[in-house]
Amino acid sequence: MYQKTIPMATAAAATTRWPTQPTQWTREDDKLFERALLMVPEDLPNRWEKIAEQVPGKSVAEVRDHYEDLVHDVLEIELGRVEVPSYPDDLAAVSG
């Protein structure tokens, strides 16, 4: 029984949408993600699928988790526990 179950489990793991290790998010990934958040309505039933389609290489689970992390970070900033990060490309946009 276990010999049949293990290959099936391995095959399922290979095709799962849940990554085995978290992927890195680049600044470009973040920009695509943030743009998708603005463009895809919150009440859309398949919102996370649509957002994941707009961020190459990211799964539905990754974009949903990234969103939850973003909400947490915003809360920490609003509570004054963390300073607002500054990025070099943001400074160029403000001065330009």
Domain spans, the chain:
27-82
d(CA 47, CA 10): 29
d(CA 62, CA 52): 8
Helix 27-39 to helix 60-78 angle, to the nearest 10 degrees?
A: 90
What is the pLDDT, as a whole number, of residue 88? 74
d(CA 64, CA 85): 22
Cβ–Cβ < 8 Å for 67, 55:
no
Cβ–Cβ < 8 Å for 62, 23:
yes
Looking at domain 27-82, its CATH superfamily turns out to be: Homeodomain-like (1.10.10.60)
What is the pLDDT, as a whole number, of residue 13? 42
Of 95, 19, 29, 90, residue with least CA distance to 60: 19
Q: Is residue 70 over pLDDT 80?
A: yes
pLDDT in tens, 39-61: 999 999 999 999 999 999 999 99
**Continuous H helices in the chain:** 2-15, 27-39, 47-53, 60-78, 88-95
Q: How confident is the model at residue 84 (pLDDT cuts 50, 70, 90)?
A: confident
